[in-house]
C-alpha cells in the first residue's frame, strides 16, 4: 500500500477544491489586509491620500554615483593626520575587492571648517553649501551592504542589490500619484553616460509600467520629438489618438489582465499633454539672469549640474512627485585631491542655489532634498599610483549623507563614525531603514505600501525596517 507523504498531501490540496475551503477559513480568521493603491486605475497617477499627514509632498534625490568620501566632504578625521602613510591593517581583515598588498592610512588633502550657526563640518570646497549649512541634516550612521558599484547603486535606489525591483521614485508615485497629470510623476535627470547598472536604477520593477522613471536627456532637447511635425496639427493628433485608443480598448477587453497595453495607452495620452506644457518648463532661458547665474549656468564647471538642479526646482514646482539627479565621477581610487575637488566644485553652487531657491519660493518645507552616494570610502589605500596620488577604496560600513527640507532636523549632525572614519558607531542603521524613513517623510507606511507579486506582498524595505527618528525634526 502506498502511503501518502505529508508534502504530497499538501501539494495535492493546492490543486483541488480543498485549498479553496482552507483559504476561506484562513481569510476568515485574518484581519483585513491594509489597503494599498490599486495599480489598475483609469487614472493610475491621479493624486492619492497618504497614509498619514506627510512632512513633504515631493522629493529631489541627488545621487552622487561612485561613492563620495565622507572623510573628505562632511566627516573630517584629524586622527588621520598623525597616521598618514603608516601601514594599515583591518582587524576584521575585510578590504575592498580592489585592494591588494600593503595598505596605508591616508589623511584628507582638504581642510574642513564649521559652517553656519550649527557649526556643521564641511570641506573647504563646499564654499556655497556653507551658506545653507543650517538647512542640512547630516547623517553619519548609515551602512551599506555592498562594495560593488552596480549592486550598491541598485541597493540604494531600489532596496535590492541585484536589481529588478521598483525604484524609490516608483514606490512613491505608486503610493501617492502626482499633482500634475500633464507631466511624468517620476523624472530622472542623468548625465550623458548612465550610472552603473543603467536604467534599472529607476525601473518600475514588478510594479505596473505606469510607475517607471522617465529619463530626460542631458544634452540637446530633453525629450526627442516633443514638437509635432509642421504638417500635423494638434487636432489631427487628437483624432489619431482617439482612433488608436478605440482599437486598443477592444484588445484590452479580450486581454483584461495585460497592464502593459494600458500603460502604453496612458503614455500616448501623457505625451500628447506634455507637448502643451513641457516646452515652457524645460526652457531655462525664461528664468531671470540672476537665477541662471545663481545656479552656475554658463560656467564650464557647474553648467551641466546647475541646469538639472534648476529644472528639478521647476518640475517639483509644477507638481512632479519625485525627481532624481545623477552626478558621477566620485570613484576616487587615486588622485583624490584632484578628482574630489572637481566633483565638489561641479555640484556645490547648484545645490546651494537649489536649496535657496526652494526656500525663497516657500517650497523647501514641503520638498525633501536628499544627497547621497552608494557607499563611503576607506581611511586607507594601497597607493598604487604613488604616495602623492593616493585615493581611497570602497567602504560600505561608513558613509555620509544629508537631507534638507521636509521636516528633517535641520542644522544637526546625527550619528558618527569611528575616529578614522572606517565604520559607523552611533545611530547605526541599514539602508532599508533610510528607505522607510523617506517613505515616512512622504506620509507613507512601508507596511501598508505593498504590492502583491510572486505570491507575497512586497515592500520597498524588502524585509521590513524602522524609521530613523533621530533625523526628524
With 50 as the cut, is the pLDDT of residue 473 above it?
A: yes
Query: What length is written for the chain?
Result: 473
Question: What's the pLDDT at 226?
Answer: 60
Residues 6+ apart with CB under 8 A from 276: 182
With 90 as the cut, is the pLDDT of residue 182 above it?
A: no
What number is the average pLDDT over the span 134-146? 98
Average pLDDT in the chain? 86
pLDDT band at 248 (very low <50, low <70, confident <90, very high): confident
Q: How far apart are CA 330 and CA 346, in angstroms?
A: 11
With 90 as the cut, is the pLDDT of residue 96 above it?
A: no
With 90 as the cut, is the pLDDT of residue 263 above it?
A: no
Lowest mean pLDDT: which of 91-95, 211-215, 382-386?
91-95
Question: What's the pLDDT at 35?
Answer: 46
Lowest mean pLDDT: which of 59-73, 124-138, 213-227, 456-470?
213-227
pLDDT by residue (tens digit) across 16-52? 444 433 443 444 444 444 444 444 456 788 999 999 9
Q: How far apart are CA 108 and CA 112, in angstroms?
A: 9
* Secondary structure letter of residue 2 according to DSSP: P
Question: What's the pLDDT at 268?
Answer: 64
Q: How far apart are CA 398 and CA 108, in angstroms?
A: 16
What number is the average pLDDT over the span 193-202? 95
In the numeric block, which cell numbers belong to residue 468?
530613523
Domain ranges of the chain: 58-226+288-471
pLDDT by residue (tens digit) across 395-446? 999 999 999 999 999 999 999 999 999 999 999 999 999 999 999 999 999 9
What number is the average pLDDT over the span 121-144? 98
Question: What's the pLDDT at 272?
Answer: 58
CATH 3.40.720.10 fits 58-226+288-471, yes or no: yes
3-class SS string, 105-154 = ECCCCCCEEEECCCCEEEECCCCCHHHHHHHEEEECCEECCCCCHHHHHH
Residues pairing with 59 in the sheet = 322, 368
pLDDT by residue (tens digit) across 398-410? 999 999 999 999 9
Amino acid at each position: 500500500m502506498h502511503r501518502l507523504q505529508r508534502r504530497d498531501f499538501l501539494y495535492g490540496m493546492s490543486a483541488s477544491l480543498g485549498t479553496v475551503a482552507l483559504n476561506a477559513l484562513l481569510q476568515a480568521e485574518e484581519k483585513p489586509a491594509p489597503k494599498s493603491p490599486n495599480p489598475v486605475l483609469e487614472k493610475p497617477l491621479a493624486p492619492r491620500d497618504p497614509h498619514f499627514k506627510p512632512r513633504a509632498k515631493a522629493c529631489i534625490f541627488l545621487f552622487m554615483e561612485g561613492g563620495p568620501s565622507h572623510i573628505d566632504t562632511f566627516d573630517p578625521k584629524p586622527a588621520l593626520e598623525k597616521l598618514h602613510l603608516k601601514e594599515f591593517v583591518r582587524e576584521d581583515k575585510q578590504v575592498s575587492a580592489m585592494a591588494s598588498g600593503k595598505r596605508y592610512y591616508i589623511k584628507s588633502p582638504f581642510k574642513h571648517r564649521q559652517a553656519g550657526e550649527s557649526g556643521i563640518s564641511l570641506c573647504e570646497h563646499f564654499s556655497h553649501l556653507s551658506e545653507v549649512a543650517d538647512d542640512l541634516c547630516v547623517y553619519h550612521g548609515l551602512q551599506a551592504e555592498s562594495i560593488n558599484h552596480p549592486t550598491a547603486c541598485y541597493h540604494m535606489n531600489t532596496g535590492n542589490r541585484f536589481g529588478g525591483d521598483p525604484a524609490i521614485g516608483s514606490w512613491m508615485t505608486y503610493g501617492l500619484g502626482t499633482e500634475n497629470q500633464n507631466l511624468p510623476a517620476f523624472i530622472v535627470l542623468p548625465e550623458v553616460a548612465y550610472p552603473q547598472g543603467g536604467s534599472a536604477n529607476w525601473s518600475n520593477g514588478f510594479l505596473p509600467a505606469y510607475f517607471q522613471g522617465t529619463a530626460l536627456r542631458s544634452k540637446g532637447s530633453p525629450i526627442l520629438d516633443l514638437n509635432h511635425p509642421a504638417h500635423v496639427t494638434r487636432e489631427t493628433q487628437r483624432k489619431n489618438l482617439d482612433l488608436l485608443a478605440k482599437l486598443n480598448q477592444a484588445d484590452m477587453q479580450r486581454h483584461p489582465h495585460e497592464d502593459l497595453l494600458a500603460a502604453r495607452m496612458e503614455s500616448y495620452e501623457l505625451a500628447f499633454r506634455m507637448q502643451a506644457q513641457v516646452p515652457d518648463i524645460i526652457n531655462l532661458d525664461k528664468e531671470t539672469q540672476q537665477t541662471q547665474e545663481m545656479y552656475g549656468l554658463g560656467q564650464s564647471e557647474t553648467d551641466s549640474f546647475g541646469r538639472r538642479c534648476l529644472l528639478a526646482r521647476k518640475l517639483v514646482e509644477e507638481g512632479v512627485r519625485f525627481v532624481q539627479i545623477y552626478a558621477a565621477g566620485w570613484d576616487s581610487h587615486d588622485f583624490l585631491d584632484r578628482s574630489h575637488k572637481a566633483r565638489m566644485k561641479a555640484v556645490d553652487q547648484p545645490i546651494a542655489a537649489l536649496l535657496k531657491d526652494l526656500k525663497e519660493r516657500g517650497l523647501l518645507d514641503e520638498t525633501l532634498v536628499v544627497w547621497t552616494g552608494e557607499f563611503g570610502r576607506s581611511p586607507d589605500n594601497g597607493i598604487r599610483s604613488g604616495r602623492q596620488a593616493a585615493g581611497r577604496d570602497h567602504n560600505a560600513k561608513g558613509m555620509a549623507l544629508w537631507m534638507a527640507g521636509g521636516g528633517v532636523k535641520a542644522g544637526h549632525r546625527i550619528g558618527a563614525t569611528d575616529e578614522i572614519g572606517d565604520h559607523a558607531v552611533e545611530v547605526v542603521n541599514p539602508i532599508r531603514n533610510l528607505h522607510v524613513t523617506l517613505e515616512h517623510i512622504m506620509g507613507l507606511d512601508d507596511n501598508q505600501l505593498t504590492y502583491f507579486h510572486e505570491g507575497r506582498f512586497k515592500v520597498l524595505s524588502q524585509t521590513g525596517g524602522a524609521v530613523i527618528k533621530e533625523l526628524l525634526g
